[in-house]
Structure 1
Amino acid sequence: MRSIGLHVPSVRLQPALRHSLLTASLLMAGLSPHLHAAEVPANVDGKRIAAANSEPGNWMTTGRTYDEQRYSPLKQIDQSNVGGLGLAWSHKLDIDRGVEATPIVVDGVMYTTGPFSIVYALDARSGELLWKYDPQSDRSRAGEACCDAVNRGVAVWKGKVYVGVLDGRLEAIDAKTGKRVWSVDTRTDPSRSITITGAPRIVKGKVIIGNGGAEFGVRGYITAYDAETGKQDWRFFTVPGDPKEMPKGKGMEIAAKTWFGDNFYKQGGGGTVWDSMSYDPELNLLYIGVGNGSSWNPRIRSEGKGDNLFLSSIVAINPDNGEYVWHYQTTPGDAWDYTATQHIMLVDLEIDGKPRKVLMQAPKNGFFYVIDRVTGELLSAKNFIPINWATGIDLKTGRPIRNEKVAEYWKDPEKKARLIQPAFWGAHDWQPMSYNPNTGLVYIPAHIMSAMYQDVDGAPPRSKFKSIYQLDVNTGMMPEDPEGLRKIADTWTGKLIAWDPVKQEKRWEVPYSTIFNGGTLSTAGNLVFEGTADGRVVAYAAETGKKLWESPANTGVMAAPITYEVDGEQYVTFMAGWGGAFSTFAGALSLRAGVKPNAQVLTYKLGGTARLPDINYKWADRKPEPPQLTGTTAQIDQGRELFNSSCSQCHGINAISGGVVPDLRTLSAENHQRFLGIVYGGRIPDGMPSFQGHLDLQQAEAVHQYLIKRAYDLKEQLAGAQKTAAK
C-alpha cells in the first residue's frame, strides 16, 4: 500500500506528537491510521522490497530493489522538463567529511547517514529533521579506517533502522523515536583494525553486514544477525584461518587449498566484504563482493603462489545458513588491490538468443563481467577502460590473461618499479553504477588512473596505523614538487561510461577532469543522474549522454542519487560532501577537483526555488607559520618516511591535505609548540588518535622536522604564485 501523502505541518515536533497529529488527521479524513506511515514508520519487509515496482515512490533498500539495478520507474521528471529542476530543500549534516550514503525513503520519511555513522530521519517533503541518532563512534579509530570516516547508509525493516558503525558495531534504532533498540559488536578480534563503512542489507529477517580493514591486516567475513534481537545467526569467512586447524565448511575447504605458508594468517589474509551485496529471492541466493588481500604483495602474503580464494571474488551464499554455493574469482592471486567489492546487479538478459539470469559487475580490475547467477559460469568479459595488467579474459577458464612483464612486480629480481593501469582505486570503485532496462545500458562511474608498483624487502609487521598502501608495496605515486604532481594529475581522470552488457561495448561516454565522481541513477524518464567531483549535480539523456541539466553543489559529490515521490511529486536527492580515500590519502591530486568538504543533503524537484546554502570552510586561508628548521637531512628524510607510512592515510602523501582534515604544513605557531602533546595526546573529537607507543620521541621529532620543512616549501610556492600573479 502506498502512502496517501497527508502531511503534518512543518514545525519542529517531538516524534510522539507528530505521530498523534498524523493519526488524528487520518481519522478526520475517514481513513485508517493503520497505514505504513501512520502506525509503523519504516514498515518494510521482504515482500514489500520484492514488490518495490508496485510502489515506485519509495526507495526501500540500498539499490531500491533486491537486484540493485538502481533504476526508478518514476517518469514525472523526463528529458522534456528536467531543465526545470530546482532545489526543493537542503539539510546540513553535522560533520564536514566524506559523504557516501544512499538514502532510504519510506512513506514520506528519508533515513540517511553522514560521517561517523550519524543517522538522520528527515521529512522527505521538506527536509525537516524528525530525529537524529549519533552512535558515538569511537573517533580515535578513524586512523584505522582506510578511507575516511564515511558511511554508505542504513537498512530498514519492520519499524527499525539499522546502521553499521565505523568502530565495528551494528545497531538497530526505533524508526519512530530514533532511540537505540539493540547493539552488537561485529568484530572477531578487537585488537585488529576492523571497521564498518558499508550499508547493511536485510534478507528474510536477517541483517547482513560485512567489514573493512584489509589494508590494516584483518580476516574478512560477513555476518547475519536476527533483525529483531541482534542475535548472530551465521558468519561466513572469506579467507582461511589458522592453517594448523582443519578448515570449517565447504567454502573454507576450497579456499584453504589455494593459500601457502602461514604469513597470511599472521597478517590477517584480507578479503573484507566492505560494500556490495545483492539478493535473488527466486533462487534464494545472496551475492557478496570480496576485497583485496592482506598483504597486497603475494610474495609476502602467500609465498607468491596460489589463487588465494576468496580474494577479489563474487561468492554466492545461501542466506538461510551462510553456506557456500559457488564463486567466481575476478582476479586470482590479486596483487594490485583489485577488489570485487564493487556494485553487483542482477538482470535478466537475452544472450545468444537465450534468456539468461545474469549477474553483472565492473570491479577494480577494469573488466566488465556478465556471469550466470545460477551457476557462476562466466558468460562474457571485456575491459571498459584501457588497461595494461592483462590482455583479456580466457572465456574457457574464466581467468585473466596476465601481462606478466608489466603486472608481476613481485617477481622482479631487481625490484624495479612498474607502471600499472588501473591502479589501486581501480577502473571503478565503490560508487554505484546503474542499469536502465529501456536502453539496455549500464552507467559506470569509471576511473582512468595508473601508479608505480614496486616490491619491497621482508614482511613488515602489522600495524594499526600503517596501511598496505605504504607497507608491502611501494606505490611511489607522488613526488613533492608541484610540476611532478601536475603531470600525474593529468593522467588521473574520470568518465561516465554507458556500457552495453550484451555486446560488451561502449555506447557513449562523458569525460571528467579527475577521478572519484559520483554513483549513478537511471530512470524511466530516460535520464541518468550523477554528481561530480568538481561540485556539480547533472542529468544526462540515457540514450546519448547529452547533458540536459546541471546545478552547483558547493562540494564534491561521490554518492549515488536516488529519486522518490511524495504527494504525487517526484524528487531527486543527492548526498553531497567531499572526502573519502582520494581526498585524504591523495590530497595533492584531489585538489584538482577544486572543492571543499561540505556535508549536506540536496533535494530537487520541478520548479524548486530553495537557495543553495553558502559554504563555511573552517580551514580557509590558513597560512604556514613554521618555526626555525633545525633538522638534518637524514632526520628530515626519516620524518618523510614515517609521515607517509603513519600519517598520510588521513593527512595526505607528502603532507599535502585534500582539505578534509587539516593540512599540517599550515600548523599554527601554537600547534608547532605543542606538537608532541597533539601526537601523543590525540585530538579525539576530530578523530586524531594518540600515537603514543607507536612513535618514540626521536621519531616524533623527525616527523615534526619534516612538516616544518614542508611548511617552508609551501611558503616558497605561495610567494612564487604571488609574484606570478603580480606580473
Structure 2
Amino acid sequence: MKSVRLIATAAVSALLLAACGNPSDTVEDIEKAESPPVEAPDATGTAAVDDARLLAAGETPQEWLTYNGTYDEQRHSGLTGITKDNISELSAAWTYDLQTGRGIESTPIVVDGVMYLTSSWSIVYALDPVTGEELWVYDPEVDKAVGVKACCDVVNRGVAVYDGKVYVGVIDGRLEALDAKTGDVVWSKVTVDQSKPYTITGAPRIVKGNVLIGNGGAELGVRGYLSAYDAETGDLSWRFYTVPNPNKEPDGAVSDAVFAELANDTWGNDGAWTTDGGGGTVWDSIVYDVENNQVIFGVGNGSPWNANLRDPNSDGDNLFVSSIVAVNADTGEYNWHYQTTPRDNWDYTATQHIMLADLPLGENGASRRVAMQAPKNGFFYIIDAATGELISGEPYANINWAEGLDEDGRPIEHPEARNNDPATYAGFVQIPAPYGAHNWHPMAMNPDLGLVYIPAMETAQAYITDARFKSKPAKWNTGMDLSAGMPLRYPEGTVEALRASAKGTLVAWDPVKQEARWTVEHEAGWNGGILSTASGIVFQGKLDGTFAAYDAATGDELWSEQLHSGALSGPGTYEIDGEQYVTITTGWGHAYGLAAGFLFKDTVPPAVGKVITFKLGGEAEIPPLDTGLIVEPEPKADPFGDEDMLQAGLVHYSRNCAVCHGMLGISSGVLPDLRWSSYTASAEAWKGVVMDGNLAANGMVSFSDVITPEDSEAIRAYVITQAHMNETTASPAEDATDGEEPALPDDAEPEMEAGEGE
C-alpha cells in the first residue's frame, strides 16, 4: 500500500524510506505489477500544464516548469529581481527538513503556487513555495533491500508535471503519476524487469503527451533503453533500446530497424555483454528539440566497462554505448547518433546534461541549431541538432587519455589508455577517472553572454583488468581491478595526498570559440549544479556546503552562504507576488559521498537533507549541523590473517564494499564505517550479516551469491587490520547505540558505483 500524507501545518514526522529497480527485455514484459488506476484529477488550477505551456516556459520565468527549466534545458532564468547590486541582502526565507541522511539531487518544480520535489528513495513532496509549508508527501515505500541495485546512492533528480499530475520515476523501476492536488496515485507502471539490477534516478520529461523515462544499472549488468508512456493512461507508446539483445534479434521495439542496419555489426557474438546486458543505460539527459521534432538523449557506459571482457572477439564501436542519440518525438524512430567514446572502456558515459542553443556557427556567421554536451570524457561537443554532424570538440578540463579528435570526430587515444593487462601495464594513471571531468551536476547557459557554465573536476584512475572477473562476479560488475594501486596498509599522508589530487572548477566556456572565458577553482573535486539568471548572476553550491553567487561575465564571487550540508543539486529560481526566490536541495551522499567522501568527512560530515530557499531580506535561519551523539571509535577485535588473506580481503572489499563503505576501509560517515562495526567482533556475527543477510530489512542484503565464506572472512580481516593500523582516521558522529551508524535517519545502504555511472 503506497502512502500519502496530507497535512495543514509544516510539522514533519519521520518518513519511511526505501530503495531501487530494473527494465524488461521485451516490450510485452512491461504490463505487470501495476497498481489499479484511479480517476484522473481536474487539472484546472493545480499543475494545469499543457503542451503550449511547456513550449512557452521561457516566457514565464516566474515558474520553473521542468527539471532544467525549459525544453532547451539551458537552466537560465529571465528573472532580474536579484541583482549584483542587491544580492548582499539575499538570505534564507525558509527551510524544510527532508528527514534523510542520503544523497539529494532534486531540482524543485514550481507551478501554480506549489513546489514539487523529490528526496532519496523517490519520496515526493508538495510544499508552499513562499513559506515552505508541507502540503502533502508521497512515499512509494520501496523495499530497502532493492537499494543494493543502486550503483550511485538511492537518489532522485526530480519530477515532471502535466495535466494535473506529478510524474516520478521510482528507484525500483516504477513510473508513477500522482494527483497534483493530493499526492494520490493515478497510475503506476513497472518499466523494468525487477529481477535484474535496474534503477531509476533521473527526472522524467514530458513530450507531446508522453512521459519519457530511462533507467540505470550498467555497473551491475543490464541492457539500457528509453521508454515513452502515455501521460494520461500510462500505456507504453514506444521504446528504444540502446544496445542489441544477446542474440541480435528483433525486440518488437522501435529500435529494431536501426539495430539490423547499423548497431548489431558493431558488437561481436560472444563475451560478457551477452550475459550482462551490454549497458548503455539512459539515466539522465533527455531533451526535446522542438524545432526538429525529436528527442535527444545521452547513453551510458558499457557493461562491463572493460571492453576486452565485454566484447573480446571484435574491435567494434559497441553502438550506442557512450553516445548521443536522436529519435523522432512521435514514434521513437532513429534519426542520428554521435558516439563520444567509441568502444568505451572507462565508464565515460555520455548521459551528462545536453542543452540546445542557436549559435552563430553557420555559413557567414548564420545561426545554427546545436546540441551541446560536456560528458565524462572531458571534451565539449557541439553537434548540429538536425543532422548529428560534429561541428567541434575541444577539452574543457585537464585530460590525458586522448590528445584530441581526428577529422572523423573520433578521440586520438593515448597509446596506454587501453592497456588494461596487469602483466604489461606501464603505470598509466588516467585522467579523468570514472567520476568523469563532469558528472550528473547540471550545467547552465547565459545566452546573452554566450557562455556555458560547467561544474568540472579532475580525478585519476589506474584501469587494470580484474583477474578474478567472471560474468556477475561481484555486485559491482566493471571488469576492472578496483583495488589497483591501493596500499594494503595506507601509510600516513595517503588520505591527504588523495585529497590534494582531486580538483574542481567552475568553468565559463565559450562554445563558439571553444575555450574557457574564466574559471573558479574550488577546494574539492565534486561540486554542485549551476543556475544562470538574466541579471548576470551564476549560482553554484559546493561540496563543503557553501552556496555561492558569481558574476556571470567575470567569475567574481558576489555572495555566499553556508548551508551545513553538501550543496550539489541544481538550484532553481521562481517569482511569486513580485518577489524572486532561489531554492536548492541539500544532502550528502551520492557516489562520491559514499565511495570517496572520506576524503572530506572533516568538512562535510553527514547531515539531514533540506530544501533551503532564499529571498532578499529573508529572516529564516539555516539550522546548524547536528550529527547527534559521538562515541570514541575503536576496533572490536584483534587483528588476524596473513598477507595473502589480507590482500584477498582488500580485493573483495574493493569489489563489493568500498562503493558504499568507502575506499581503504574508511567511511565518509554517511553509511557505517566497518572498521568500528560491532559485527566485526566475531566470525559468526560477521557471517550473519554478510553471508546470511540478517540485516536485509535495513538494505544490507546477503552477498553469498558473489563471494564465498572464505572471501567474507578475508574482508573482515582486512577491515580489522585497517582499524588497528589507522585508528586516528575515525569517521565523525557515530551512533552510541552500537558504535556503528551515524545518528541520522535509518536509511538503507545501496551498492554504489564509484564513478556515478548508473
For the criterion TM > 0.5, the same-fold answer is yes
**Structure 1 residue 482: Cα displacement:** 4.1
Instruction: Report if aligned partners of 1:513, 1:593 keep a CA contact under 8 Å in 2.
Output: no
Per-residue deviation, residues 588-631 of structure 1 (Å, max 9, x unmatched): 33436534233110100000110111322258445124122343
Report the counterpart of residue 547 of structure 1 in structure 2. 557
Q: Across the two proteins, how many residue pairs are aligned to each other? A: 685
Q: Are residues 288 and 38 of structure 1, via their aligned partners in 2, closer, same or farther at CA, if it must alter by over 3 Å? A: closer
**Cα separation, 1, equivalents of 2:110 and 2:445:** 20
Q: CA deviation at 1:387?
A: 1.2
Q: 1:622/1:40 Cα in 2 relative to 1: closer, same or farther (>3 Å)?
A: farther
Aligned to 2:73: 68
Structure 1 pair 717/379, CA: closer, same or farther in 2 (3 Å)?
closer
Match of 1:423 in 2: 433
Q: TM-score, normalised by structure 1?
A: 0.90
Whether 2:613 is the aligned partner of 1:606: answer no
Q: 2:473 and 2:169 mapped to 1: Cα distance?
A: 24
State the partner residue of 1:210.
214
Alignment pair present for 1:267 and 2:276? yes
TM-aligned CA deviation for residue 438 of structure 1: 1.3
Q: What do residues 230-265 of structure 1 show as CA deviations (whole Å, max 9, x unaligned)? A: 111111000111235358623212111111132212
Q: Give the one of 445, 462, 465 matched to 2:455.
A: 445
User: Which residue identity lines up with residue 720 of structure 2 in the other structure?
Assistant: I
Q: CA 1:301/1:428 → structure 2, altered by over 3 Å: closer, same or farther?
A: same
What CA deviation, in whole Å up to 9, does each residue of 1:39-60 have, x standing for no partner?
4411112210111123211001
Partner of 1:376 in structure 2? 388
1:307-386 equivalence runs, <5 A:
307-351=317-361, 352-386=364-398
260, 266, 269: which one aligns with 1:258? 266
Deviations 1:79-121 (A, max 9, x none): 1111110000000102110011111110221100111111111
Residue in structure 2 matched with residue 22 of structure 1 by the alignment: none
Q: Which has the higher contact order (CA 8 A, sep 6+)?
A: 2
| Paired position in structure 2 for 1:292 | 301
CA distance, structure 2, for counterparts of residue 696 and residue 654 of structure 1: 21
8 Å CA contact 1:535–1:553 kept in 2: the answer is yes
Counterpart of 1:527?
537
| Structure 1 residues 537-616: aligned runs within 5 Å | 537-591=547-601, 593-616=603-626
1:147-166 maps to which residues of 2 (within 5 A)? 147-166=152-171
Whole-Å Cα distance in 1 between the matches of residues 520 and 582 of structure 2?
Answer: 21
CA distance in 2, matches of 1:519, 1:283: 28
Q: How many angstroms apart in 2 are the aligned matches of 1:226 and 1:190?
A: 21
Structure 1 Cα separation of the partners of residues 102 and 628 of structure 2 = 12
Structure 1 residues 186-225: aligned runs within 5 Å = 186-187=191-192, 189-225=193-229
Distance 1:11 1:555, change over 3 A: closer
TM, length-normalised to structure 2: 0.87
Deviation string 1:366-424 (CA, Å, 9 cap, x unpaired) is 11111110000111111011211111112x31211112x23122478624442111111
CA shift at 1:567, angstroms? 1.5
Secondary structure at the residue paired with 2:516? strand
The DSSP-based 3-state class of the residue aligned with 1:660 is coil
SS at match of 2:258: helix
Q: Which piece of structure 1 moves more, 292-301 or 689-698? A: 689-698
CA distance in 2 between partners of 1:718 and 1:169 (Å): 39
Report the residue type matching 1:298 in the other structure.
A
The residue that corresponds to 1:502 in the other structure is 512
Cα drift, residue 636 of structure 1: 2.8
Determine if contact 1:453/1:475 at 8 Å carries over to the other structure.
no
Gaps of 5+ in 2: 1-6, 13-40, 732-758
- 1:25 aligns with none
* 2:92 and 2:621 in contact (8 A); partners too: yes
| 1:243–1:262 contact (8 Å) kept in structure 2 | no
Q: d(CA) in 2 for partners of 1:50 and 1:113? A: 24
The residue type equivalent to 2:320 in the other structure is: F
Q: Relative to structure 2, which stretch is displaced further, 413-422 or 327-336?
A: 413-422
Mapped partners of 1:674, 1:143: distance in 2: 20
2:503 is matched with which residue: 493, 517, 537?
A: 493
Partner of 2:750: none
Superposed CA deviations along residues 10-68 of structure 1, whole A, max 9, x for unmatched, are 84699xxxxxxxxxxxxxxxxxxxxx999441111221011112321100111110110
Please list every run of 5 or more consecutive structure 1 residues that lacks an aligned counterpart in the other structure.
1-8, 15-35, 720-727
Superposition deviation, residue 453 in structure 1: 1.3
8 A Cα contact 1:409 1:417, kept in partner: no
Q: Alignment partner of 1:494: what SS?
A: strand
1:401 to 404, 412, 436: 412
The aligned residue for residue 476 of structure 1 is 484
Query: Percent same amino acid among aligned pairs?
Result: 48
CA contact 1:388–1:406 (8 Å) conserved in 2: no
Which residue number in structure 1 is paired with residue 26 of structure 2? none
Q: Aligned equivalents of 2:694 and 2:240: distance in 1?
A: 36
Change (3 A) 1:169 1:715: same
Instruction: Quote how far apart the aligned CAs of 1:681 are.
Output: 2.8
Matching residue of 2:523: 513
Counterpart in the other structure of 1:301:
310
- Hey, what's the Cα distance between the residues in 1 that align with 2:108 and 2:79? 17
Change (3 A) 1:216 1:715: same
Partner SS for 1:584: helix
Using the TM superposition, give the Cα deviation of residue 678 of structure 1 relative to its aligned residue in structure 2, in angstroms: 2.7
Does the 8 Å CA contact 1:514/1:593 hold for their aligned counterparts? no
Alpha-carbon distance in structure 1 between the residues aligned to 2:554 and 2:640: 60
- Root-mean-square deviation (CA), in Å? 2.3
* Amino acid in the other structure paired with 2:719: L
* 8 Å contact kept, 2:107–2:585: yes
Q: For residues 13-162 of structure 1, what are the structure 2 equivalents within 5 Å?
A: 39-162=44-167
Q: What is the deviation of 1:637?
A: 2.6
Per-residue CA shift, 1:516-554, capped at 9, x if unaligned?
100000001100000000111000000000000000010
**C-alpha distance in structure 2 between counterparts of 1:376 and 1:64, whole Å:** 24
Cα deviation code 1:417-472 (max 9, x no counterpart): 4211111111100100000011110000001111111234475221562332xx33
The answer as to whether partners of 2:275 and 2:471 remain within 8 angstroms in 1 is no
Partner SS, residue 455 of structure 1? coil
- Cα distance change, pair 265–670 in 1 and its aligned pair in 2 (3 A): closer
TM-superposed deviation, 1:671: 6.9
Kept after mapping to 2: 8 A contact 1:140/1:689? yes
- State the Cα deviation string for residues 125-150 of structure 1 (Å, max 9, x = none): 01111000010112112122111111
Instruction: State the secondary structure of the residue aligned to 1:216.
Output: coil
**Alpha-carbon separation, structure 1, partners of 2:729 and 2:458:** 29
Contact 1:587 1:652 in 2 (8 A): yes
| 1:675 and 2:686 correspond | yes
User: What CA distance in whole angstroms lies between the structure 2 residues aligned with 1:406 and 1:670?
Assistant: 41
Letter in 1 for 2:54: I
1:299–1:161 distance in 2 versus 1, CA, 3 Å: same
Amino acid across the alignment from 1:484: T
Task: Tell me if the contact between 2:279 and 2:300 (Cα under 8 Å) persists in the aligned partners.
Answer: yes
SS in 1 for 2:416: helix
- Cα pair distance change 1:182/1:717, threshold 3 Å: closer
Q: Counterpart of 1:29?
A: none
Q: Which amino acid aligns with 1:86?
A: S
What is the letter of the counterpart of residue 232 of structure 2? E
